[in-house]
C-alpha cells in the first residue's frame, strides 16, 4: 500500500518553448485585426496542482530535466496501470473536439490507482493532468508533453433514501436525472451539466438558482502526501463558481462526494422544465466547452448578455464561433484550432472591456502543451 506521495516541485509558469503563432492579418467579420486586445487566457500552469476531475494541471516538470520514460515499465511500476505512450489524442477527451496527442495516457478506476498514477508521475518528474469529461477545458493542438490521467471513478452508492455517494468521475447529469426520477430534489439543475461529480464540486457548478454546494454532505479527497480525508460541508466554503478546493494547496484530487437530498414530488417536473429551457437557449448539439466566461459579480447582467450587446453574437474567427443561440458559448463550427479559440476569447474580452468597461473572467481553462 502506498503511504507517501512525493511532494510536487515549486510552481512554475508553463509557456511555449517557441514563440506562439502570430496572428494572421485578417478581418474579424468587419473588425480589423489591429483592434485585438493583448489580454491572454491564463494557463492552468498558474493554478495549484491537480485538484479535480475537471482538468487541473500539476506543477511538476522541469525543462532542464527531461527524462525519456520506458512506457513498458510504467505498467510494472504503477500497480499494473495501463499507461499508453504517444497515441491518445486530447480532442477525443474534450467536448470542444480540439487537442493534439499527449505523451502518456492512463485511466484510473479507483482511488488507489489514482494515487499510484500521481506518485509515479511525481517520482519521474512528469507533468500530469487529471481529466473527467473535458467539458471545461481547452487543449492545445500541439498536445501535452506529460501524462493525462482519465478519471473513471464512476461508482454510485445509495447509502439511504436521499443520500447518494458518487465517485468523482461519475457523470453529473446522470446523477441529477437519477435523483429526480427517484423523487429527490436539489440536483434538478444537474440534468443539463455535462461534467463530472468531481468537476461540478470543484467549480460549484450551478443553474436555475441551484448550486452543487446546496446538497453536498461530505467530500472525500486525496492529499499530496497520499492521505485520504473526508471533509464535511461545514468544513468547506463555496461561492459563485468558487470552492475551498481551489485554494487547498495540499489536495491532490477529489475522489468521491456524498449528497444529501430532500424528498420532492415535483423534482422530476422541474428538471424537465429546466432541460427544455436549456435545449432552447444553449447550443447543446454543437461542440463547445460550456460557458466561457463567469458572470460579473453584482452587476445584474450575464456575460452572455454583455457579449451580445457588444455585437459579437454569431461572430467567428476561422472555425471558432460565438454561438448564435447563446453568446457565452464558443463553438467549434468545424476544424477550429486552439489558437483560433484563444484569439476569439481575447477579442471578446477586449471588445466588452472597451464597450462597457467590464473585464470578463474566464471559466474555461487552457492547458498549455509544453513546460519551459
Hey, which residues does 274 pair with through a beta bridge?
A: none
Positive or negative, the Cα torsion across 95, 50, 168, 304?
A: negative
What is the pLDDT at residue 258? Answer: 98
Query: Which cell numbers hold the place of 291?
Result: 460557458
d(CA 164, CA 157): 6
Lowest mean pLDDT among 17-21, 111-115, 138-142: 17-21
Q: Which domains does the chain have, with CATH numbers?
A: 41-151 (3.30.43.10), 156-267 (3.30.465.10), 284-367 (3.90.78.10)
pLDDT tens-place string over residues 241-267: 889 999 998 888 999 999 999 999 999
What separation in angstroms does the CA of 158 have from each of 24, 54, 179, 234, 256?
Answer: 55, 24, 10, 22, 13
Could you tell me if residue 216 is left (phi over 0), alpha (psi between -120 and 50 degrees) or otherwise beta? Answer: beta
Residue where the block lists cell 486530447: 90
pLDDT for 23: 32
Q: Which residues of 129-138 are buried (b: 16+ CB within 10 A; e: fewer)?
A: bbbbbbbbbb
User: Tens of pLDDT along 210-245?
Assistant: 999 999 999 999 987 778 999 999 999 999 888 999
The position carrying cell 447550443 is 283
- What sections of 141-186 are H helices per DSSP? 172-181
pTM for the predicted model, two decimal places: 0.77
Q: Which residues pair with 221 in a beta bridge?
A: 229, 254
Contacts with 64 (C-beta within 8 Å, 6 or more apart), sequence order? none
Amino acid at each position: 500500500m502506498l503511504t507517501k506521495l512525493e511532494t510536487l516541485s515549486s510552481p512554475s509558469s508553463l509557456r511555449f518553448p517557441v514563440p506562439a503563432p502570430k496572428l494572421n492579418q485578417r478581418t474579424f467579420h468587419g473588425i480589423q485585426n489591429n483592434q485585438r486586445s493583448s489580454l491572454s487566457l491564463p494557463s492552468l500552469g498558474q493554478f495549484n496542482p491537480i485538484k479535480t476531475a475537471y482538468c487541473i494541471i500539476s506543477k511538476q516538470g522541469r525543462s532542464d530535466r527531461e527524462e525519456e520514460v520506458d512506457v513498458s515499465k510504467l505498467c510494472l511500476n504503477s500497480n499494473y496501470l495501463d499507461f499508453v505512450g504517444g497515441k491518445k489524442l486530447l480532442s477525443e477527451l474534450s467536448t470542444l473536439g480540439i487537442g493534439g496527442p499527449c505523451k502518456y495516457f492512463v485511466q484510473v478506476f479507483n482511488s488507489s490507482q489514482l494515487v499510484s498514477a500521481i506518485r509515479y508521475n511525481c517520482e519521474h518528474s512528469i507533468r500530469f493532468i487529471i481529466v473527467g469529461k473535458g467539458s471545461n477545458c481547452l487543449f492545445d493542438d500541439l498536445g501535452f508533453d506529460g501524462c493525462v490521467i482519465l478519471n473513471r471513478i464512476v461508482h454510485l452508492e445509495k447509502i439511504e433514501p436521499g443520500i447518494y455517494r458518487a465517485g468523482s468521475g461519475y457523470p453529473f447529469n446522470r446523477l441529477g436525472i437519477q435523483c429526480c426520477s427517484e423523487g429527490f430534489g436539489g440536483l434538478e439543475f444537474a440534468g443539463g451539466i455535462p461534467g463530472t461529480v468531481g468537476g461540478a464540486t470543484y467549480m460549484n457548478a450551478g443553474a436555475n438558482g441551484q448550486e452543487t454546494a446546496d446538497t453536498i454532505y461530505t467530500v472525500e479527497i486525496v492529499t499530496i502526501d497520499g492521505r485520504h480525508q473526508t471533509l464535511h460541508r461545514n468544513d468547506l466554503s463555496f461561492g459563485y463558481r468558487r470552492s475551498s478546493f481551489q485554494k487547498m494547496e495540499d489536495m491532490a484530487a477529489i475522489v468521491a462526494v456524498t449528497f444529501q437530498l430532500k424528498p420532492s414530488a415535483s423534482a422530476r417536473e422541474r428538471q424537465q422544465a429546466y432541460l427544455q429551457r436549456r435545449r432552447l437557449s444553449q447550443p447543446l448539439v454543437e461542440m463547445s466547452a460550456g460557458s466561457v466566461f463567469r458572470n460579473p459579480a453584482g452587476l445584474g447582467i450575464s456575460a452572455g448578455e454583455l457579449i451580445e450587446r457588444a455585437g459579437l453574437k454569431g461572430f467567428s474567427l476561422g472555425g471558432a464561433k460565438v454561438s448564435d443561440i447563446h453568446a457565452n458559448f464558443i463553438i467549434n463550427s468545424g476544424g477550429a484550432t486552439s489558437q483560433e479559440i484563444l484569439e476569439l476569447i481575447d477579442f471578446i474580452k477586449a471588445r466588452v472591456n472597451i464597450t462597457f468597461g467590464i473585464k470578463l473572467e474566464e471559466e474555461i481553462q487552457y492547458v498549455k502543451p509544453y513546460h519551459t
